[in-house]
Amino acid sequence: SPGQFISHAGSDIARGEVLLRAGTVIGSREIGMLAACGIALVTVARKLRVAVLSTGDELVQPGDSLGPAGIYDANGAIVSAAITENGGQASFLGAYPDDEATLEAAMREALAAHDVLIVSGGTSKGAGDVSHHIVDRLGAPGIVAHGVALKPGKPLCLAVCDGKPVVVLPGFPTSAMFTFHDMIVPVLRRMAGLPARTEAKLAAKVPLRIQSELGRTEFVMVSLVEGEQGLVAYPIGKGSG
What DSSP string runs through 133-178? HHHTTSSSEEEEEE--SEES-TT-EEEEETTEEEEEE-SSHHHHHH
- Please check whether residue 153 lies inside any domain of the structure: yes
Residue 23 is part of which domain span? 13-44
How close are the terminal C-alpha atoms of the chain, in Å? 74
Strands 88-96 and 157-161: unpaired
- Do 36 and 57 fall within a single domain? no
If asked whether residues 109 and 129 sit together in one domain, one would say yes
Domain total in the chain? 2
**Per-residue pLDDT tens digits for 116-153:** 999 998 877 666 678 888 998 999 999 999 999 888 88
Q: Which one, of 77, 223, 241, lies nearest residue 175 by Cα?
A: 241
Alpha-carbon span 148 to 161, nearest angstrom: 20
pLDDT in tens, 99-120: 999 999 999 999 999 999 999 9
Digit-coded pLDDT (tens) for 25-64 = 899 999 999 998 899 999 998 899 999 999 999 999 999 9
How far is 122 from 176, CA to CA, in rounded Å? 12
> Of 227, 183, 184, whose CA–CA distance to 206 is shortest?
227
Q: Note whether 54 and 118 are same-domain residues.
A: yes
Residue 193 β-bridge partners: none
State the Cα–Cα distance between residues 176 and 79, nearest whole angstrom: 8
Report d(CA 175, CA 173) in Å as an integer. Answer: 5
| Co-location of 52 and 28 in the same domain | no
- What is the C-alpha separation between 135 and 143, in angstroms, rounded? 7
CB contact at 8 A, 223 and 234: yes
* Together in a domain, 81 and 177: yes
Contacts of 225 (CB under 8 A, 6+ apart): 231, 232, 234
Residue of 240, 200, 241 whose CA lies nearest to 224: 200
Same domain? 65 vs 37 = no
CB-CB contact of 51 with 79 (8 Å): no
Residue 236 CA to residue 220 CA, distance in Å, equals 8
Domain identity same for 143 and 26:
no
Report the C-alpha gap between 31 and 120 in whole angstroms.
Answer: 37
Q: What pLDDT was estimated at residue 127? A: 64
- Dist. CA 168–CA 166, nearest whole Å: 7
Domain of 168, CATH number, reads 3.40.980.10
Q: Are residues 38 and 61 in the same domain?
A: no
Q: Do 57 and 150 belong together in one domain?
A: yes
16 pLDDT band, cuts 50/70/90, is confident
